[in-house]
Amino acid sequence: MDGLNVSIAFFFLVVGVCQVLRWLSKRLLSPGTHGCLAREFAGSFQLCTSCLELRMLMEVGPWAGGFGLDVVLTLLFLLSAAHGASWDGASSNPTVSLQEFLLLQCSLAATGAKLLAQAVGAGVGWALTRLYWSWELTQLHFIQNLIAPECSSSIRASLPLAALVEGSCSFLFHLVLLKVRQSHPLYRVPALAATVTFLTYTAGPSTGAFFNPVLATATTFHCSGSSFWDYIQVYWLGPLAGMLAALLLFQGNIPRLFQKNLLYSQKSKYKVPKAKVTAQVEGDKPQGKRKVGKSNSEPRA
């Protein structure tokens, strides 16, 4: 269990460092730079390093550390909750950033800056995690450092099925995100953490259940067993299609592309009862006749 304790300490260190980075950037940088660059960089760095260490525990831990999948899934839920509570509005996911762009919540330039910051954060997180493994602080890290150069692809199903799995995970994740995005963090954070844990448990054996293109690129694109185009189809096109399907189902349209609702008929919230209008019109007619009659009955000079 010493290896598990070291990994838990590593998780705490990563979250703490990223929190300090967010605090400094909020104080030293402009709001736009903090929101588009620093916040997304810190979130992607935190997500990538935590995911790599957690995948190491999932792959090496059962036969070298003496703990099972239940421990890893518990850590995944707690880490997802910690990430959701500390990200300060960052998406750390290209499909979420593109969703915000399609919902008219973010400009094209800001979306491009977020995607760039996410890629840099994930790349730096991957490099520093590999450096951390090279120190071989525990037996788990020693084994991971040996097998890391010979890693195999996370795609363990046929290409169409793998793309469908990643697309379905992205679809369900974005549906939950759209539903709870305006909720209080007390409800939103555990709901998203439970969703991520459930999707990882069900779809992990087939594709790794990334449903995050940048995270998948940093984690598995360098592994042998699948071509670059295979990775693009499964880990980029699949989640993107899932996000678009979820947005279309939830909204009925894609605001950035067209305003017309394709799925749901929009009815006016305010209705004027027809019977009341008819009664008012019929009630006006006798009054008009009485006025005319009164004017005709007046004596003439």
pLDDT tens sequence across 134-188: 998 998 999 998 888 888 899 999 999 999 999 999 999 999 999 999 899 899 9
Check residue 29 and give its pLDDT. Answer: 87
Check residue 116 and give its pLDDT. Answer: 95
Q: Is residue 272 part of a domain?
A: no
Check residue 272 and give its pLDDT. Answer: 53
- What are the 10-residue block averages of pLDDT along the chain, 301 residues in total? 87 95 90 84 95 91 77 94 89 94 93 95 95 91 87 92 97 96 92 96 93 93 91 97 95 86 64 53 50 45 37
Closest CA to 83 of 2, 19, 5: 19
Q: Is residue 276 part of a domain?
A: no
Query: What residue has token string 């004027």?
Result: 272
Q: Is residue 119 part of a domain?
A: yes
Number of folded domains that form the chain? 1
Q: Please answer whether residues 175 and 246 qualify as being in contact, where contact means their C-beta atoms are separated by less than 8 angstroms.
A: yes
Q: Is residue 285 part of a domain?
A: no
Q: Is residue 263 part of a domain?
A: no
Q: Is residue 282 part of a domain?
A: no
Query: What residue has token string 């979250």?
Result: 15
Check residue 282 and give its pLDDT. Answer: 52
Q: Is residue 269 part of a domain?
A: no
Query: pTM value?
Result: 0.84
| CATH number of the domain residue 9 falls in | 1.20.1080.10
Q: What is the domain range of residue 22?
A: 1-251
Q: Is residue 290 part of a domain?
A: no
Check residue 148 and give its pLDDT. Answer: 82
Task: Count CA within 13 A, CB hemisphere, residue 139.
Answer: 9
